[in-house]
Amino acid sequence: MVDGFVAAVVLAGVAVTGLALQATPQLDLAAILVFCAAAAVAEVMGVSITEDSPLSVSLSLAVILGAVVVVGPFGAALAGICAASARVLRHPRPATRKTLFNIGLFALEGGAAGLAYHAAGGQLGREANTPTDVLACAAALAAYFVVAWPILVGIIRMTTGRPFRDIYEDFRWMPVQILVSAAVGFTLGAAYLLFGWGGAAVYVAPLLAVREAMRQYTSRVGRQMAELRRAHAEADKANQALLDANAELDSTNEGLLKTLASVIDARDIYLYGHSVQASNYAGKVARMMGLDEHQVRVTELGALLHDLGKIGVSEAILNKPARLTEEEYEEVKHHCDIGYQLLSNLPHFEEVAEVVWSHHEDYDGTGYPRGIHGEDIPIGARIVSVVEATEAMVSDRPYRKGMSPDEVLQELADGAGSQWDPIVVETFSGILSADRKHLVMRNSALDVALSRTPVSELVQVDGPSPLGEVNRTFHGASEPIFVLDESLRLVAANPAAEAATGWKEPDLQGRAWIELCASPDQRLGTPQVFFSRPRSIGLRRADGTHAIVQLTGSRLHTNSATYWLVLAQAASTLPADTGDGIDPLTGVHDRERFGELAVEAMAQDEKLTLVLIDVDGLAAIRQTFGDETSDAGLIALSRVLDSQLRTNDVAARVGDDRFAVLMHHATLQDAGRVVQRVEDRLPDATQKLDCVIELSSGAAQWDGAETVAELIERAEVWLEAEKRSRKHAEHPGLPVQVSLA
C-alpha cells in the first residue's frame, strides 16, 4: 500500500512537471539554474524540528515560490526537484523510497503553485501591482496547501498508524512558518524582476535571520521535549513499579485464595481440585455470555470459594463412603450460609459472598438456602451452579462411577429451566459439545489415588508386575506414565510424560490415545490386545517429531472405576512428516494456517494483538556458522515462544527469520511482557550454540476493521522502527534519518 502511494506521488510529480513546461511561455535557463541552486542550498540549511522528529523546516519553500514569480511553473517544479534531491546531502544513505517520495512531492508543490499563479494572471513585479497579483499569490499558496498537506498526512498515517489528531499536533504550528516563507518568496521574486540580482540579494540577510530564529526556536523546543521525555520516563518507571507491585500482590492473593480452596477441597477427598476446575469453567461461561470483566472475576472467585462453608461441616459426613442420610444432607446444606457469613465480612467480597450463598438455588425456586428463583439469583451463582454440578457429574464417587459425556449433556438438558438457568446451560453445553475433552475432567478419586499411593500398589495384575519394583508415587516416577480410561482416552500424565511428549498435561487430557500414535497400524486393537505385551510405537510430540518408545500397560483400579496405566520407556526421537498447516522445522503453524486462524478470530470480533518477532542477522548466522546452527536457533526460539504463550494464543513461523503471535483479549502491554519473557529465556535455551541469537519485535492491536495483511503491515512498521533505533544506538555516529515523509 505504501509503495503504491509513493509511486502515485512520483507519477503525479512527473505529470505536473510536464504540464508546467507547457504552461511556461519562455524559459530563462540562467535564472532557472540560479533558483534551482538556491533551493538546494536552502534545503541543505534546513532545521529539524526535534532530534527524533520525521519533520524538518527549510527555507527552500521561499525560493520555490520566488521561482514561481520569476521563471514560471516549470522553473518552480525544477527548483522543488533540486531541493528534494539536496536532502541526500543532509541525510547520507537515505531510503530510496523516501527520496523518490520527496522528489515527487516537491515537484507537485512547485508545479501546482506555479500553475495556479499563472492561471490567476499573476504579473507581480512585471507591471504595476494590482489586486489580481495578490489573488494570484493567494491561489499559488492555496494550491501548495491543497497538494502538500493531504499527501503528507496520508503517508504519515500509512507508515506509522498514528491517529489524525496526533499528526495534526505535529503540523499545527507550520501554517505560520509557511505564510512567512510565502511572503518572503513572493517579494523575493518581485525584487528580482524589478531590481535584478542586487534586489534579490537584499533578501539573503532576512532569510538567514529567519533560519537562525527557527534554529534557536527548535533547539529550545528540543531541550524542553528532552526534559519532558526524561520526566515521562521517570513517571513511567514509577508507574511500572507500582503496577509490578500490584501484580505481585494480585498474584499472592490469587495464590492464597487457591490454597484456601484446596484446603477446603482436601477435607472432601472426592472433591480434590474441584473448586479450581469449577472456577476455570465459570470464567469461560461468563465471558461467552458477554459479562464484563468485573462480573467475570466475581463469578470466578465465587466458583473458587463456593464450598468455603464446608469448613463448618463434619469431616465424617464429607468423606462418608455412601449416600448421606436426610439429617446429614441438611447439615451439608448449611455450608452456603456459613460461606456467606465468612465472606460478607471481608471488604470488596460482598458480591462474591452473594454467589457463594446462592450457588445451590434452583432456577424454579426449589433450591436452598433461601428458595429464590429466576433472575433473583445472581448471574454468577447461576453459572457456578451449572459448572460445579457438571464437574461433580463426571467425577467418580464410592457409590457410583462418573457420567459419560453424553449422559452429562442429557442431564444438563433435562434440568434446564428447572434446576438451572436455561441460557447458562445452553452456553456451557455449547462449549462442552464443541470440544468433548472438557468432559474428561480431572477425576477426583483418581487424582487422590495417584497423589497418595505408590504406583506399585495401584497396579493389580496376575503374576509379577511388568512395572518391576516401582516404589514411588505417580508424579515422582522418572519414566513417562500415562493413565487412560477404558475408552483409551487420556485422563492423566506425570511430569516425565509431559517432558517426553512436549505437551502439558492439560493439553493431553481428553485426547484419544490414537491421536498420539504416529501411524494407523499402531492405533488398532482393544486395550487388552494393545497392552497384552510390551511393544514399540512412535508417539507424536508437540514439536512435530516422533518419540519412539516401548510401552508396557497394565490395569489400574480405583474404588469405582478401571483405568489403564501405561509406562513408556523412551528409545529415540525421529523427525516426522508434519500435517497441513505446520512448519516442518519448528513445529508451529505456518503462514497460511496462521492467516486462516487470524481470519477466524477476527470473525468473532475479539480483541486481538499481533506480535512479530525477527531473528536479527539470520542470513549472516547461516553463512558463518552453517544451516545446522541457524536451524537450532529457530527451533530454540519456537520452543521458548511456545512456553510463554497464554491459553488460546497462536504462534506461527511466517518467514525465514520471522515468527508471529496472535494474542486473544490482549493489549500492547501484554504483548510487550510476552516478548520480554522470550528475550529473557532465550539465552539459556541457546547457550550451547556458537552464536548469540538476538531479536527485534513489533506489535499492533487490531482496530476491528482491517485485514490480516493490514494488521501485519502495521506491526512491521513498528518492527522496522525498532531495528533502526537499535542500529542507531549501536552506531551513534550515524544520523537519524528524517524527512518531510
**Which pLDDT does position 451 carry in this prediction?**
46
What pLDDT, in 10s, does the model give residues 263-284?
555 445 455 456 777 788 888 8
Q: What is the band of 23 on the pLDDT scale with cuts at 50, 70, 90?
A: confident
In the predicted model, what is the mean pLDDT of residues 532-553?
71
Name residue 640's amino acid: V
In the predicted model, what is the mean pLDDT of residues 117-133?
78
Q: What is the band of 361 on the pLDDT scale with cuts at 50, 70, 90?
A: very high
CB count in 10 Å sphere of residue 192? 24
**Which pLDDT does position 307 carry in this prediction?**
81
Give Cα separations from 695 to 490, 498, 615, 642 (angstroms). Answer: 38, 28, 5, 16
Q: What is the band of 358 on the pLDDT scale with cuts at 50, 70, 90?
A: very high
> Highest-confidence range of 48-52, 92-96, 549-553, by mean pLDDT?
549-553
In the predicted model, what is the mean pLDDT of residues 281-306?
89
Burial (Cβ within 10 Å: 0-12, 13-18, ≥19) of residue 99: middle
Give Cα separations from 117 to 16, 73, 301 (angstroms). Answer: 14, 8, 72
604, 625 contact by CB (below 8 A): no
730 compared with 543, residue with greater pLDDT: 543
Considering the entire predicted model, what is its pTM?
Answer: 0.36
Q: What is the band of 200 on the pLDDT scale with cuts at 50, 70, 90?
A: low
Long-range CB pairs of 199-207 (<8 Å, 24+ gap) are 200/66, 207/42, 207/59, 207/62
In the predicted model, what is the mean pLDDT of residues 394-403?
63
Beta-sheet pairing, 650-653 with 546-557: unpaired
Least confident of 337-351, 359-373, 643-657, 717-731: 717-731
**Which pLDDT does position 242 carry in this prediction?**
58
Q: What is the band of 363 on the pLDDT scale with cuts at 50, 70, 90?
A: very high
As given in the structure block, the three cell numbers for residue 8 are 502515485
**Which pLDDT does position 473 carry in this prediction?**
46
**Which pLDDT does position 442 carry in this prediction?**
42
For the chain, what percent of residues have pLDDT higher than 90?
Answer: 10
In the predicted model, what is the mean pLDDT of residues 68-72?
84
Nearest to 596 by CA among 670, 660, 504: 660
| Percent helix, strand and coil across the chain, each to the nearest 5 | 60, 10, 30
Cα radius of gyration rounded to whole Å, the chain: 36
Residue 399 confidence (pLDDT) above 70: no
Q: What is the band of 698 on the pLDDT scale with cuts at 50, 70, 90?
A: very high
**Which pLDDT does position 429 carry in this prediction?**
86
695, 677 contact by CB (below 8 A): no
Name residue 121's amino acid: G
Taking the C-alpha atoms of residue 390 and residue 20, their distance in angstroms, rounded to an integer, is 79
Q: What is the band of 474 on the pLDDT scale with cuts at 50, 70, 90?
A: low
Chain mean pLDDT for the chain: 75
Residue 404 confidence (pLDDT) above 90: no
674, 663 contact by CB (below 8 A): yes
Largest CA distance in the chain: 121
For the chain, what percent of residues have pLDDT higher than 70?
Answer: 70
Residue 548 confidence (pLDDT) above 80: no
Residue 572 confidence (pLDDT) above 70: no
Residue 571 confidence (pLDDT) above 60: no
**Which pLDDT does position 296 carry in this prediction?**
92
**Which pLDDT does position 610 carry in this prediction?**
92
In the predicted model, what is the mean pLDDT of residues 528-532?
57
DSSP state of 737: P
In the predicted model, what is the mean pLDDT of residues 594-611?
86
48 compared with 385, residue with greater pLDDT: 385
As given in the structure block, the three cell numbers for residue 652 are 506461527
